[in-house]
Amino acid sequence: MRTRDRVRAIIEKLKEAYPNAHCELDFRTPLQLLIATILSAQCTDKRVNLVTPSIFRDYPTAEDLATASQDELEQAIKSTGFYRSKAKNLRAMANILVEKYGGEVPRGMEELTQLPGVGRKTANVVLGNAFSLAEGIVVDTHVARLAKRFKLTKSEDPERIETDLMRLVPKTYWTDFSHWLIWHGRRRCYARNPDCLNCELGTVCPSYGKFIKSAGSDKTRDAKRRLFQDPWKAPSIRRERNKT
């Protein structure tokens, strides 16, 4: 199967598996999403969502955040990790929003990536989810891992991975594609011990079955052996397993 054909098949499978995939950071405004995404660096969305309600309440505008006490802000976001640098970046970012953009979040990649604490990933999250603007593809740890397992990139560099994906994925799917991969990475294609036996994308994934440690029954072992010989023609391991 050619790479572009595989991408189309992957998209269809992901659409079917995760029709409601979305950004799992809680937000109501572009500023709230920008704050939440900065806090999400090296932190789970679940943890960020526990912290942000008080942040959004105490600092509802960029002006409020720009004049926040460093110490108080640090304490408020401490559980997200790297809280000193995050607090410093949040205050500096808010100050620039006030001085250059009237307190509003800009809608351009160049403008966003010039803000403290904002790289392409954060900018893509904000543009795609707050403004419905597809300027790129969010590449987090899940997207990077699945892109390699799907054989869509050979790179370890996030920006190179993004470039490779942008060449293969139609632009209309850029925002959704990252959501789908993130959801699949969190729910099925784990970093360790991915659930290949129950994977909805088994028929289109070139890495399908390669991470299974225990083959199980003789039928499953035979299916796994055939899978490695030709992953596109091999019968489903899950189907063989369910028959035993």
Q: Three-state DSSP class for 108? A: coil
Express each pLDDT in 98-136 by its tens digit: 999 999 999 999 999 999 999 999 999 999 999 999 999
Reading the block at residue 30, the tokens are 């572009």
- The CATH number for 40's domain is 1.10.340.30
**Do 13 and 110 sit in the same domain of this protein?**
yes
Are 96 and 138 members of one domain? Answer: yes
pLDDT 10s digits, 46-87: 999 999 999 999 999 999 999 999 999 999 999 999 999 999
**Distance from C-alpha of 120 to C-alpha of 136, rounded to nearest angstrom:** 8
Catalytic residue among 13, 121, 164, 176: 121
- The answer on 146 and 173 residing in a single domain is yes
Across all residues in the chain, what is the average pLDDT? 91
Residues 200 and 187 placed together within one structural domain of the fold: no
179 shares its domain with 222? no
Dihedral angle, C-alpha 5, 10, 13, 16, nearest 10 °: -110
CA distance 211 to 199: 12
**Can you give the pTM of this predicted structure?**
0.86
Domain residues for 39? 1-191
Rounded Cα distance between 30 and 144, Å, is 25
In one letter, which amino acid is 201? L
The confidence score (pLDDT) of residue 1 equals 77
- Are residues 145 and 114 both part of a single domain? yes
pLDDT band at 94 (very low <50, low <70, confident <90, very high): very high
User: Does 155 share its domain with 173?
Assistant: yes
Q: Is 58 labeled as catalytic in the residue annotation?
A: no
Write the CA distances from 173 to 133, 138, 160, integer angstroms.
11, 12, 18
Active site residue 121: yes
Number of domains present in the structure of the chain: 2
Structure tokens at 201: 């994308």
Whether 203 and 116 share a structural domain: no
* Same domain for 100 and 75: yes
Which DSSP state fits 201? T
Residues 75 and 27 in one domain: yes
Average pLDDT score over residue span 224-238: 45
Clarify whether residues 118 and 236 are in a common domain. no
Tokens read off for 174 = 């850029």
Same domain, 118 and 209: no
Task: Select which of 26, 45, 78, 140 is catalytic.
Answer: 140
Return the closest-CA partner of residue 204 out of 145, 146, 139, 138.
146
Two tokens, residue 183: 């959801």
